[in-house]
Amino acid sequence: MATRKRKVRKLRGSRTMGWGQVGQHRNSGGKGGHGMAGLHKHKWSWTVVYDPDHFGKEGFKPRGRANKVRSWVNVGGLDEIYQKHGGSVEKDGLPLINLSELGYEKLLGGGSVSRAYYVIVGSFTNGAKEKVEAAGGKISTGS
């Protein structure tokens, strides 16, 4: 068909281009709405195919989760840990227990310790420090 006979050329300048009253067939009506409109309604099949993860939740991490201590041991368990994992390694003349290497994050003050140890751990309570030092040992957060 010749370009000059096409409808778009014939209606050029007619404001509505053959689509009736003012404003019809203009903005977003032909698309089914602006933006993400209709994803739960008339565009649901599009959502299923092209954006199936659009709705719903994606994970959740409560505040403070990163600082939560997940593994700990009481002072009363130091003797058993030394018998199981300890060796001839000493530091400052005391038998060394490196709780950080064994996977413990914190030393708590429950129980009692029978002998002096040099304990290395990420963190500890005041009660644990008092009991270790009362037995003649030392406690440290470094390596």
93 burial level (CB within 10 Å; 0-12, 13-18, 19+): exposed
Same-domain status, 37 and 54: yes
Containing structural domain, residue 78: 67-140
Let me know whether 53 and 76 are in one domain: no
> 97 or 62: which carries more pLDDT confidence?
97
Please provide the size of the chain in residues. Answer: 143
> What secondary structure letter does DSSP report for 15?
S
What is the CATH number for 106? 3.100.10.10
Residues 104, 41 within the same domain: no
Confidence at residue 114, expressed as pLDDT on a 0 to 100 scale: 87
Question: Domain for residue 11, yes or no?
Answer: no
- pTM, whole model, 2 decimals? 0.53
Instruction: Establish if 9 belongs to a structural domain.
Output: no
Q: Is the pLDDT of residue 49 over 90?
A: yes
pLDDT (mean) for 72-89 = 85
